[in-house]
Chain A
Amino acid sequence: MIRDITIGQYYPADSPLHKLDPRTKLMGTLVFIISVFLFNTIPGYAVATVFLAAVIKISKVPVKFIFKGLKAIFIILIITMVFNVFLTPGEVLWSFGFLKATREGISLAGKMAIRLIYLVIGSSLMTLTTTPNQLTDGLERGLRPLNKIHVPVHEIAMMMSIALRFIPILLEETDKIMKAQIARGADFENGNLVQKVKNMVPLLVPLFISAFRRANDLAMAMEARCYHGGDQRTQMKPLHYEKRDHVTYMILALYLAVAIGFRVAGI
């Protein structure tokens, strides 16, 4: 199950998209999301589709890999569509008891589905082509102005990158603890909700203790390697815009203009 979620996973490849500055990609994702909500008509979605398809092609990430990420939102997608189809007032096409499918409902459901799918594909494309560290760096640099209002941007970014590193370790550990307790007769599957929660104690206590221990060890290891916050710290991979980033920004501006134009013109 966990393996199916591609959001947040990195797909190593050598593509122009991988080489882009993470800030550019963050901005690009934002522009794309806005555009998906601006477009409202079939020609509009066609433009978005062409744009998305081009980006996927450039990214060199296999299409199969990208669609795998949609599995995780499949249920949400179905629920949203059902709600939209039956709960939107308008011209009734078909009814079954109190359930009435309307023309407006179907069209709204279709739009919602496209938006949701594009949203997920768009954002997973970013994480697939950007290492977690680059992403963190991008956010740190992008949010730097917030430093002025005393938001600890460096610390937040550091916490994010450490969390990203430890998530797989803690998942694996959870699995091991579960097995150790199952071997002692623990039951994590049966029983009502209260019992289930109670049954989690033998899993959660060792997990928390281990997590705190790891945090403690890591803090010491960071200190031993001269970590003393963000001051006077240099970067191994500082971010700077290249020509390709400037070009990308221009394409993005153009694309956004088209999206706004479509909306204004009502196409």
Chain B
Amino acid sequence: MTAIVDSTRAPSPAGRILGPSGLPRLLPSDLAVGVDPAGLDRHLARHGARPCCAGDWRRRQRLIDEVDSAGLTGRGGAAFPTARKLRTLAAGPCPPVVVANGVEGEPASVKDKVLLASAPHLVLDGAACAAELTGAAEVVIVAHRAACETVRRAVAERRQVGCDPVPVRVQAAAAGFTAGEASAVVRWAHGGVPAPTGRPPRLGGPGRRPALVQNVETLTHLALIMRHGASWFRSAGTAAEPGSMLVTLLGAVARPGVYEVEPGTLVRDVLGLAGGTGQPLGALLIGGYFGTWAAAEAALPLPFSAAGLAAVGASPGAGVLAALPATACGLAEAARVTRYLAGSSAGQCGPCVFGLNAIAGALDRAAAGGGCDPATVRRWLRDVNGRGACRHPDGTAHMVASALRVFRAEIDLHGRGWCRATETAWVLPAGQGQP
């Protein structure tokens, strides 16, 4: 796990710093020692100076090509190719604004908060690289409130040294699940309400510059690719899903928290990083609240990657892996998450407002032993899918559909007034004001 300089690697395209081998790449490896890892000195000692990514059109294209061959994809959940976004914005008619998305409204995920709090300079490096690559005139870091002060301090530290090419503004994120949706983040960053607009941020809007929105973890990978090159990035992970990724492990694990893993690591071994489960598992929620429920025995032997998890209809998504002990009630957990998501709707689109509420009501009733007509719920899932300005109804419907599959036996049992669970402690967090 220690950083070893490998002198056999080729010089990077943007700088001449050799890449360290092994993980972790993003998080400081000495977190346990109790040293403040967020300072600029420590950042520079570990990663070296940020290579300049500015230059003429051809040089910037070449560097974006490097991101392309690295195969970097967005780490916010959608896994969109980063190079494609960079290329679109770099070719646009006016300078964009780079928006670093550190909102992380999902209660089950903490990886972006941990990253912002422990490696803010790597995020800021990535934002600066993205700004230079796209010719952006401004960077806005929208950071979760828990990490905001650390990021502000980091920006002030950098301002003194003058190491950012464009003005950097830090804004505290709005609370709430949908506040992290890309168009909502951009709207919020420009003084608007934190609700999705239904318009891709890259297109900009009247009087507003087009925006490059990247998850903060994606930016840290970008900063390292510009330092060490595509082949270094690809030395971790699989050929189809290269690099490393941060995952939040929670539920029935000994040490819940954020871990850096290579895609392709077996789900069982990923959970092992958190000290293992120590008890039989019932189900896993993979990818986050827009993710997929899977029976534990089906998912544990699979590689944690989009290709590997496809066998249970899942993907790493936003890097969340929640382990439900066999003693808990999966139906009740799924119902609670669904209720949370229904309550998290931005409230703009009818099918999302009323549809998710109806679906959550059906699961609540099922969990309470009131019976459930899965055919009706499935029709509602089809009805809400794709009918909002953002993907909130789609993501929720995906998660609920997997719950109906995986907890079919529980739904039958509850309909007859029985529940297999032997404890009722809630495993999955469901936002403020809820148990």
Please indicate whether A and B come from the same complex rather than being unrelated chains: no
